[in-house]
Amino acid sequence: MSTMSTVIQVILVLFLIASAIGVSVTGNLFMAVIIFMGYSSIMAIIWLFLESPDLAITEAAVGAGVDSVLFFLTLKKVHALKGTREG
């Protein structure tokens, strides 16, 4: 059981690194926000493996929830999303 847990944790860390690099190198702002949502979700799962459910809930709510909504609203405000216009 411990070996399977270790394998899952290594895979999660690799996904975490890949998503961090993906956010850094993508030129599309919309995709960067989507990848960042994935990063926050993976981080919340890692917090659960580290036996910190309070941090996991906070990361899921703030990182994948509130931050993403604020980023999408910002993209809409600066007209970075196609088909959005103020008026």
CA angle 76, 66, 42 (to 5 degrees): 110
**Contacts for 29 with CB less than 8 Å, ≥ 6 apart:** 75, 80
Given a cut of 50, whether residue 78 has pLDDT beyond it is yes
Separation of alpha carbons 30 and 23, rounded Å: 10
Taking the domains of the chain in order of start, what are their residue ranges? 9-76
Reported as a single tens digit per residue, the pLDDT across 12-49 is 999 999 999 999 999 898 899 999 999 999 999 999 99
C-alpha triplet 74, 80, 84: angle, nearest 5°: 90
Res 1 pLDDT > 70:
no
Helix (H, G, I), strand (E, B) or coil at 68: helix
